[in-house]
Amino acid sequence: MRKKTLGRAKRIVVKVGSSILASVERGLLQEVFSCLVKEIAELKRQGYEIVLVSSGAIAAGMEKLGYKTRPQSITLKQAAAAVGQSRLMNVYESLFSRHQQMVAQILLTHDDLGNRRRFLNARNTLLTLLELGIIPVINENDTVVVDEIKFGDNDNLSALITNLVEADLLIILTDIEGLCDADPRVHPDAKCISLVEDIDSDLESMIGKGRNATSVGGMASKIQSARKAARFGIPTVIASGTRKEVLHQILKGKEIGTLILPKPDVLSSRKHWIAFNLKPKGEVIVDEGAKRAVVQNGKSLLPSGVVKVRGNFDRGDSVSCFGPRGKEFARGLVNYSASELEKIRGLRTERIEEILGYKYSDEVIHRDDLVVL
């Protein structure tokens, strides 16, 4: 299973976390960087295309500024990131140059990937770099982001990058062996899960055994990232970045870490962008019949099925769709603003023009702009 799944991968997104790149006592760990860079350079020579998503800017800044603990205020974190990002890239550039390998720095915010035009521009730039044989080193632009435009973490960013560059595989390197059935830092008897065939049902099974859904193996964000990659048809491997030649072992199909298989119902690049790159501006609550029509029959969302509207959104914005039990089941691009939808909710399509004096569309959200989660 592993060899067959991983043997097809040629374009790989590798995400490496600050937990293995740095320590409070020693700052950036040069030996870890050296091993990582050497292995990536070797893979590049073997014909693989590598996109590196690297944390570590704030840790590098802390080292340079003499901080012994992570700053708590946003401004100090951003200052540390500003100081540390150049230091981080200097380390990568210096080490990769020893292998005659060029790298390029790419700093992104959620706004960059949430805007369709900028998303496509970023894709073109990254694909051009890969064509030129250059390894992109990507990080969130911590110096300018605020909560509204944050990715949340680089795990989430790496999942979005798989769609951006149309990757074949996502590898997340962390400080534990893989996805576990409990947090190994808290539960010494925690077992590493080798294979996850269906991330949704398998996770539900783990939750059913009394595990905490938000901290399975201490890896909530990595599970969410793998789920996003899976919806784009991309397998994910979560493994320890401290293991010797971990990338080579993974690509050879060795039983390393956790392999999470992709979903069979693969989203198109555009629908993946709608589902995961856009931050919803509001919520639409629908009745059971409307939910069933969308989820089971692939229908558009009509005004007759809308029960309630929350938030202040405009036509063309992303909104979340919730069923009567309060669970989000879909996201989409809405054809009417919140104020317009408030006037026509619960009404039949033929009454839209009568109520508003105009009609943009028969649908609140057309099925081509609607993604079931």
Q: pLDDT, tens digit, for every residue of 16-35?
A: 988 899 887 778 899 999 99
pLDDT exceeds cutoff 60 at 318: yes
Strands 195-196 and 258-260: parallel
pLDDT at 353: 96
pLDDT exceeds cutoff 50 at 210: no
Beta bridge partners of 93: none
pLDDT exceeds cutoff 50 at 148: no
pTM, two decimal places: 0.87
CATH of domain 2-267: 3.40.1160.10
Please give the average per-residue pLDDT across 186-207, as a whole number.
75
237 closest CA partner among 178, 320, 175, 304: 178
pLDDT at 214: 34
- How confident is the model over 333-350, as pLDDT tens digits? 999 999 999 999 999 999
- How confident is the model over 118-128, as pLDDT tens digits? 999 999 999 99
Please give the average per-residue pLDDT across 27-48, as a whole number.
95
Q: How much is the mean pLDDT over the chain?
A: 90
Please give the average per-residue pLDDT across 143-155, as a whole number.
67
Confidence of residue 247 (pLDDT cuts 50, 70, 90): very high
CATH of domain 280-372: 2.30.130.10
Evaluated on CA atoms 154, 156, 157, 158, the torsion sign reads: positive
- How confident is the model over 214-246, as pLDDT tens digits? 334 447 788 889 999 999 999 999 999 989 999
Query: Domain map of the chain by residue range?
Result: 2-267, 280-372
User: Angle of helix 220-231 relative to helix 199-208, nearest 10 degrees?
Assistant: 150
* Portion of the chain with pLDDT greater than 70, in percent: 93
Evaluated on CA atoms 284, 286, 292, 297, the torsion sign reads: negative
